[in-house]
Amino acid sequence: MVRKLIFSIFRYNPADPSSRPQTKKYKLEETENLNLFVALNKIREEQDPSLQFDFCCRAGICGACAMVINGRPGLACHTKAKDLPADISLMPLPGFKLVGDLSVDTGTWFRSMNEKVESWVHTDKKFDPQAEEERMGNDVAEKIYELERCIECGCCVSACATAQMRDDFLGAVALNRIARFIIDPRDKRQEKEYFEVVGTDQGIFGCMGLLGCEDVCPKHLPLQDQLAFVRRRMGIHALKRILPWKN
Interacting residue ranges for ligand SF4, rule: CB under 6 A: 150-156, 159-160, 162-163, 171-173, 176, 207-213, 217-219, 221, 227
Return the one option of ligand FES, ligand SF4, another protein, none that residue 67 interacts with (CB less than 5 to 8 A, by type): none
- 187: how many CB neighbours lie within 10 A of its CB? 18
Q: What is the C-alpha to C-alpha distance for residues 227 and 212, in angstroms, rounded to an integer?
A: 12
Q: What is the C-alpha to C-alpha distance for residues 195 and 183, in angstroms, rounded to an integer?
A: 15
Does the footprint of another protein cover residue 121 (CB under 8 A)?
yes
Site map 74..113 versus ligand FES, x via CB under 6 A: -x-x------------------------------------
Considering only 50, 161, 192, 236, the residue that binds another protein (CB under 8 A) is 50
Q: How far apart are the first and last CA of the chain?
A: 70
Q: What is the C-alpha to C-alpha distance for residues 15 and 204, in angstroms, rounded to an integer?
A: 37
Strands 4-11 and 87-91 come out as: parallel
**Nearer CB in complex with another protein: 5/207:** 5
Return the one option of ligand FES, another protein, ligand SF4, none that residue 226 interacts with (CB less than 5 to 8 A, by type): none
Return the one option of ligand FES, another protein, ligand SF4, none that residue 156 interacts with (CB less than 5 to 8 A, by type): ligand SF4
Q: What is the C-alpha to C-alpha distance for residues 117 and 127, in angstroms, rounded to an integer?
A: 23
